Amino acid sequence: MRKGVVASLFYGAVLLGAPLTAAYSQWTPGSELVGQSVQVETNGVVNTVYFDPGGAARVITPAGNVVQGNWTAAGGQLCLQTGTGRECWPYNAAFRAGQQVTLVSSCQVASRWTPLSTNPVQASGGERG
């Protein structure tokens, strides 16, 4: 992968969610994001990423341009692909609306992600020992 291909598209790269809480042991990766949006700030530039159903993604730039792509959530990573570029972020727990998370992408670029809204996530029925 060319370093920062997706990153340059997002004016630096998009960085995603670190583990947020252990209470989501019944969580299916990506379920809280389907149909929702996340504001992503990289190098002072804020893009909005829409996680559409079926794995489609839309990135809206500050100028209002729309970049089409795809997203996946598996194997402890959330990945975005636009054009020929693909970038992934550590993803081991559900995002929570309004809770900002900072991570470093596979292109070694740090960004702050703030979900504007999320779908409900089923919490575990009990404590783990």
C-alpha pair distances (Å), 51 with each of 1, 16, 42? 23, 13, 18
pLDDT higher than threshold 50 for residue 61:
yes
Q: How confident is the model at residue 65 (pLDDT cuts 50, 70, 90)?
A: very high
Cα(35)–Cα(69) distance, rounded to whole angstroms? 14
Q: What is the pLDDT of residue 25?
A: 53
- Rounded distance, CA 128 to CA 114, Å? 28
12 pLDDT above the threshold of 90: no
CATH for 5-115 is 2.40.128
Domain segments of the chain: what residues?
A: 5-115
Give the confidence band of 123 by pLDDT, cuts at 50, 70, 90.
low
Half-sphere exposure of 49 (CA within 13 A, CB side): 33
Task: Check pLDDT > 70 for residue 16.
Answer: no
List all residues 6 or more positions away from 64 whose beta carbon is below 8 Å from its beta carbon. Answer: none
- This prediction has a pTM of 0.76
pLDDT in tens, 72-93: 999 999 999 998 899 999 998 9
